């Protein structure tokens, strides 16, 4: 038996899928929702702040904000191999917020990126076996991708 918790943050982020057969190859953006799913044991140490929790939701939110939101919010995420997309971002100048990534920024790949980015920061001070087990990336109200270990 395992307890799991989830917490999300949202970002407004631009991207394009350069090889897409239809409209996704155009530069556009989404309000992304990155939702971390964490498993572990409930802390049963009497008197500590996290007693009765896996991890403080506000601590998860802070990590998501620092490592995900503050990196890609109001930024354009572009695949390093997307020469046209990169050129378009370069025209905008150095003050444009461009994030170059080594993958095509689909919801699936962004979910894995967010997972890999956040996972090292999910640690417990109480030995309650905390582990990031999944990252869900909602790209539209109808579209969700999950990277799960
Ligand atoms: Zn899109």
Check whether 60 has a pLDDT greater than 90. yes
pLDDT at 124: 84
Region 46-69 average pLDDT: 97
For residue 30, report the distance from its CA to the centre of ligand 1, in Å: 6
Distance 53 CA to ligand 1 centre (A): 36
Domain presence at residue 107: yes
Residue 83 CA to ligand 1 centre (angstroms): 18
CA of 131 to the centre of ligand 1 (A): 29
Ligand 1 centroid to residue 29 C-alpha, Å: 6
Question: Would residue 62 count as lying in a domain?
Answer: yes
Query: Is 69 a domain residue?
Result: yes
Specify the pLDDT at position 125. Answer: 81
Residue 8 counted as domain residue:
yes
In a domain, residue 124? The reply is: yes
Residue 22 in domain: no
User: What distance in angstroms lies between residue 33's CA and the mean position of ligand 1's atoms?
Assistant: 13
Look at residue 52 and tell me if it is in a domain: yes
In angstroms, what is the span from residue 100 Cα to ligand 1's centroid?
Answer: 16
Distance 74 CA to ligand 1 centre (A): 14
Domain with 139 in it: 3-16+30-148
Domain of 122, CATH number, reads 3.30.479.10
Write down the pLDDT at residue 145: 98
Asked if 148 and 133 count as a contact pair (C-beta separation under 8 A), the reply is yes
34 vs 54: CA distance, rounded Å? 19
Tell me the mean pLDDT in the region 9-28.
95
Question: How many domains are there within the chain?
Answer: 1
Q: What is the mean pLDDT of the chain?
A: 96
pLDDT of residue 20: 92
Number of Cβ within a 10 Å radius of residue 149: 10
Please determine, for residue 98, whether its predicted confidence score (pLDDT) is greater than 90: yes
Distances 144 to 25, 32, 71, 73, 74 between C-alpha atoms, Å: 19, 10, 21, 18, 20
130's tokens: 């905390």
Residue 82 located in a structural domain: yes
Determine contact, residues 145/108, Cβ cutoff 8 Å. Answer: yes
Position 1 scores a pLDDT of: 81
Q: Over the stretch 102-144, which tens digit does the pLDDT of each residue have?
A: 999 999 999 999 999 999 999 888 989 999 999 999 999 999 9
């Amino acid at each position: 038996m395992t307890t799991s918790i989830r917490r999300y943050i949202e970002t407004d982020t631009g991207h394009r899928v350069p090889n897409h057969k239809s409209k996704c190859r155009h530069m556009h953006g989404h309000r992304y929702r990155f939702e971390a799913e964490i498993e572990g044991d409930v802390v049963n140490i009497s008197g500590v702040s996290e007693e009765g929790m896996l991890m403080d939701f506000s601590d998860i939110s802070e990590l998501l904000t620092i490592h995900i939101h503050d990196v890609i919010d109001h930024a354009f995420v572009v695949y390093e191999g997307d020469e046209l997309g990169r050129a378009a971002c370069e025209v905008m100048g150095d003050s444009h917020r461009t994030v170059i990534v080594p993958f095509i920024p689909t919801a699936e790949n962004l979910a894995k990126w967010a997972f890999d980015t956040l996972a090292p920061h999910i640690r417990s001070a109480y030995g309650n076996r905390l582990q990031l087990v999944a990252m869900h990336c909602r790209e539209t109200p109808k579209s969700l991708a999950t990277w799960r270990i």
